[in-house]
Amino acid sequence: MKRDIYSKLLLWKTSKNRKPLILQGARQVGKTYIIKSFASGNYKNYIYLNFEEDKRLHSLFQDNISAPRILKDIELLFGKKIDLHNTLLIFDEIQECQTALNSLKYFQENSPETHIIAAGSLLGVKLGQNRGFPVGKVNFLQLYPLNFFEFLSAIGRPDLRELLESIETPAPLNEALHNELLRYLKEYLLVGGMPGVINVYRQNNFNYNIARAEQLEIIKSYSLDFAKYTKQFEAIKISRIWDNIPEQLAKDNKKFIFNVIRKGARAREYENSLQWLVDSGLVYQVENISNASLPLSAYANHEIFKVYLLDTGLLGAMCRIDPKSILEGNTLFDSFKGAIIENYVLQEIKSHHDLPVYFWTSEGQAEVDFLIEENQQIYPLEVKAGISKKKKSLKIFGERYNQVELARCTAMNLLKNNNILNYPLYLAALFPKLN
């Protein structure tokens, strides 16, 4: 399955400033698959070390973390000669071996020519807890679930992807094509971007019920992780937050409220549990901005935020949404109060930009769903599930901050009306390129 991150891995391999690479991402987004695929296509050989499956590997990093000594021991253990320029070392589930994680520093300092990619199921959690991890000694990349463009390629429509990526000016698409793309978008919203789900979906003649069964298996495996990797009292709180996310998103005001999890619940009881979910890559936290000035991070309110799921397909499965309500007619754009659409648009922004996202409010008068900062510019984006032409909040934002370029993402066609550009939902990936 072709992934966009492949080109970034190529850039890493050929970079003069290459360091050991840490590939982050939630469980089951395809980290191991893409690393092995990249290794097979770009190296003479690779050596795969999985620190969870093979506990013997931990001893390689126990005595002293010397790069030459570790390389020699790996050669002897696997019976393979390591060519520093043509062999890729893959350290998978590296969070299971702290000394292996620490060794990346010494590889960068003492053997920079060695090619290493490290990954792990809950590596983000481990790095969040490891305050001593040396900054500046590794490169980072983030792998997300397949975005909509990747999905089109995966289901055999790379031609549609090429068409969408070639758009450079905001001119409406042919109406028949526009409706066809909305149909594919509905399909994506139902199936989502988890590689395992897409694989069984393709292999079983695009059967939605089988895709849903695979989604439920993934959700169950995540719940088992809570108990496996945390203490019992912490696992209970993580599960409560996780199970409560659909209810939080179903509210008209989607601001995350701890009291909705359990009556009387307070932030201090659950904030570490929520951070665990964020660090694991299972949820995205979008913080509030009331002053949209540069840099946005300086004005973020850490106590007011929304929480979204890593994948809109999993969100639909958690809610047990009937596939017919998404695929037939326009009921998709009326159901679940637009939460699925907002979740989808956020996924697209994260996948294509990999940067912080915020939402803006103004004294209860207006709210803009998403704000990003790129190239010293602030870009607001209002999201509507249907074809609503209301722009009150966006106009208030524009007047307050003298914003010349404003954008909406709706089910309407690509169109620019005065200073407001409408991105059709299937083109969320191009925001803010066309502004």
Residue 182 pLDDT greater than 90, yes or no: yes
Q: What is the tens place of the pLDDT at every residue in 24-68?
A: 999 999 999 999 999 999 999 999 999 999 999 999 998 788 999
Phi, psi dihedral angles at 374 (to 5 degrees): -145, 130
How many C-beta atoms lie closer than 10 Å to residue 153's C-beta? 18
DSSP characters over 329-385: TTGGGTGGGGHHHHHHHHHHHHHHH-S--EEEEETTTEEEEEEEEETTEEEEEEE-S
Residue 337 pLDDT greater than 70, yes or no: no
Contact 151, 160 (CB under 8 A): no
Taking the chain, what is the end-to-end CA distance rounded to the nearest angstrom?
31
Task: State CA 411 to chain mean position distance.
Answer: 23
Phi, psi dihedral angles at 117 (to 5 degrees): -125, 125
Residue 131's pLDDT is 56
Contact 88, 46 (CB under 8 A): yes
Residue 388's pLDDT is 64
Give the C-alpha separation, 319 to 332, whole Å. Answer: 14
Share the mean pLDDT of the chain: 93
Residue 220 pLDDT greater than 80, yes or no: yes
Q: What is the residue whose two structure tokens read 């069964």?
A: 213
100: left (phi over 0), alpha (psi -120 to 50) or beta: alpha
Q: What is the dihedral of CA 89, 94, 100, 103, to 10 degrees?
A: 70
At 110, the pLDDT band (50, 70, 90 cuts) reads very high
pTM to 2 decimal places: 0.95
Phi, psi dihedral angles at 317 (to 5 degrees): -70, -40
Domains and CATH numbers, the chain: 5-142 (3.40.50.300), 156-430 (no CATH)
DSSP characters over 22-83: EEE--TTSSHHHHHHHHHHHHSSEEEEEETTT-GGGGGGGTS---HHHHHHHHHHHHT----
Helix (H) or strand (E) holding 142: strand 139-142
Contact 420, 412 (CB under 8 A): no
Alpha helix stretches (DSSP H) within 111-174: 123-129, 148-154, 158-165
Report how far apart, in Å, the C-alpha atoms of 61 and of each of 58, 118, 167 are.
Answer: 6, 15, 51
Helix (H) or strand (E) holding 9: helix 5-14
Phi, psi dihedral angles at 50 (to 5 degrees): -115, 110
Q: What is the tens place of the pLDDT at every residue in 279-295?
A: 999 999 999 999 999 99
Residue 389 pLDDT greater than 70, yes or no: no
More confident call, 77 vs 322: 77
Contact 323, 213 (CB under 8 A): no
